Amino acid sequence: MFQRVLSVSPYWLLLLTTLFWAGNFVLGRAVHLDVPPIGLSFWRWLTALAIILPFAIPHWKESRHVIRNSWPILLTLSVFSVACFNTLIYIGLQTAPASNSILLQSACPVLILVISWLFFREKVTLLQGAGMMISLFGVVVVVTEGSPSAIVGMDFLNVGTAWILLAVLCWAIYSSLLRLRPDGLSPFGFFALTVLIGVVVLFPFYLYETFSGRAMPLSWISVGSVLYVGIFPSILSYLFWNKAISELGAARAGQFIHLVPAFGMAMAILFLGEPLRGFHISGFLLILGGVWLATVIARARA
């Protein structure tokens, strides 16, 4: 069945991938009163692990020596991606609007450039620097909801927004550290292993949340939410994204990532009733323009 699905146009696969990713934010906000955030993250990845485990074990057996010798970096990558990123997103969505959150996440490519420059001494060109500043200003516009002057009074940062920014930082760190991923471990084996480690890391936090009064309820809302996030933005998006990259190349496929905030804002307006305000549009254009300048244009001029 998977082979039949993966045989469709890579452009359709990319559209579905970005739609699933955007839906993750919207659903996280939609169920924030019904489903606890750490519980949603834990059961998401446990569901994904249960599905992929039979296919992952052969990969792990072939690379057991690599895994044994590389566990520190594997643990680090798993903590920043599986354990932290979506968990912090779901925590942030307890109070932050989905539209704001997904706009902030779209600035991640520029943050990756900053981290690579700071810690890996990657050269940053003038165009990349300009793109970083433009994108950063777009983030400020979104965070302050169109009133950058509010920074002076330090009365602008929603607690949920702070969690979202921390989540974006975790993903940027993970993406920057991917260059240290061990050779000899297949991409699928690596993905499955980070999921396994992430589930183990999340478990004590899930127990703490449960015994603190926010136990995961057994309801149609919780089960449906877990199945969606465990299958669509976790497994199917991974398969679709990698299949599209193999056919179109990373550069062309990567441009579709900009559809995530567009889909996300549209769904937040349609399903959550969140208003589309001027700072959403201006912040989106600034972030997108900065990312485009710092990545696509700068790469073309290199």
SS (H, E, C) 191-254: HHHHHHHHHHHHHHHHHHHHHCCCCCCCCHHHHHHHHHHHHHHHHHHHHHHHHHHHHHCHHHHH
- What pLDDT score does 157 carry? 65
Q: Note if the pTM is more than 0.85.
A: yes
pLDDT at 302 over 70: no
Distance CA 232, CA 5 (A): 13
pLDDT, tens digit, for every residue of 217-263?
999 999 999 999 999 999 999 988 888 887 877 667 767 777 888 88
- What pLDDT score does 26 carry? 96
Report residue 139's pLDDT band, with 50, 70 and 90 as the boundaries.
Answer: confident
How would you class 270 by CB atoms within 10 Å of its CB: exposed for 0-12, middle for 13-18, buried for 19 or more? exposed
Report residue 296's pLDDT band, with 50, 70 and 90 as the boundaries.
Answer: low
Report residue 151's pLDDT band, with 50, 70 and 90 as the boundaries.
Answer: low
Count other Cβ atoms within 10 Å, centred on residue 21. Answer: 21
Instruction: For helices 108-120 and 278-291, give the axis angle rounded to 10 degrees.
Output: 40
Helix, strand, coil percentages (3-state) for the chain, rounded to 5, are 80, 0, 20
- What pLDDT score does 301 carry? 65
What is the phi-psi region of residue 184: left when phi exceeds 0, alpha when psi lies from -120 to 50, beta otherwise?
left
Report residue 71's pLDDT band, with 50, 70 and 90 as the boundaries.
Answer: very high
Report residue 154's pLDDT band, with 50, 70 and 90 as the boundaries.
Answer: very low
- What pLDDT score does 72 carry? 94
Distance CA 14, CA 37 (A): 27
- What pLDDT score does 300 carry? 64
* Percent of the chain residues topping a pLDDT of 90: 49
pLDDT at 77 over 90: yes
* Contact yes or no for 140/151 (Cβ under 8 A): yes
pLDDT at 137 over 70: yes
